Amino acid sequence: MMLMSCFLYVLLSGGIAGAAGGSVVGGTVAKPHSRPYMASLQIDDHHTCGGVLVRKDYVLTAAHCKNCYRDLTVVLGAHNICKKEKSQQKIKVKKYQPHPKYTGKFDYDIMLLKLENNAKLDKYVGPIELPEMDENILANVSCAVAGWGQSGPKKPTSDVLKEATEKIQFSVECNHIWKENFTSHRMICTKITKGGGVCQGDSGGPLICNGHLRGITAYTAEGQCDNPKFPHVFTKLDFYLPWIKKEMQK
């Protein structure tokens, strides 16, 4: 993994340049195992990022979730990540495949994890379908987010999977706030609602609109993930579909 990825990994813990990796602020506890595609990426049994199972042998996440010095373990089939649930499957990563244009900054922040062995698909573990090409998401559409991250600034990560709803925001508003860090055709902009939204620890988790996976949690305002003045940003999957499919075909 390139050295620059170490630089952005800091976003998960402390943050730089006013942005940080995204947990669910507020929100509600998800029905256990209602999202069988959810993955918890862990180091020494500690949650660091989210991810989504897109095939029995591949998990999709954010590129900045790769720690340059420690290997990740993918935990599937979990609801409470602090308990040894019989439904859980812990699988090591065989290969890290960040996007080739990822430099450790905000753009091209997407990565495929090739699992060391195939996940066993059952009622607790199952992949989510990738979106179709060029699906247009209109502003103010409500989308679901989920994760085990912090429930607010300076708060601990959640033991159980939580979920919330965010609304798609006009890209011009994200351009105004995030300036050169936001690229509309490769990113999706959302606004937090009273019901909650993503925060630190949710990076790599899903943005699901109208039942379809549309984005991967990228970044929020450092220490202000619950502030509606700062839009949340997700990596837009539509743009990356050719790359994703090519990598999984290898």
Q: Looking at this protein, which amino acid is placed at residue 170?
A: F
Of 196, 17, 228, the C-alpha closest to 104 is 17
Q: Are 62 and 99 in contact (CB under 8 A)?
A: no
33 carries an active-site annotation:
no
CA dist 145 and 142 (Å) reads: 10
- Is residue 237 classed as helix, strand or coil in its secondary structure? helix
Three-state DSSP string of 25-52? EECEECCCCCCCCEEEEEECCEEEEEEE
Selected catalytic residue, list 33, 47, 64, 232: 64
171 carries an active-site annotation:
no
64 carries an active-site annotation:
yes
Selected catalytic residue, list 109, 202, 226, 238: 109
Neighbour tally for 14: CB within 10 Å: 10
Q: Are 66 and 51 in contact (CB under 8 A)?
A: no
Q: Active-site residues: which are they?
A: 64, 109, 203
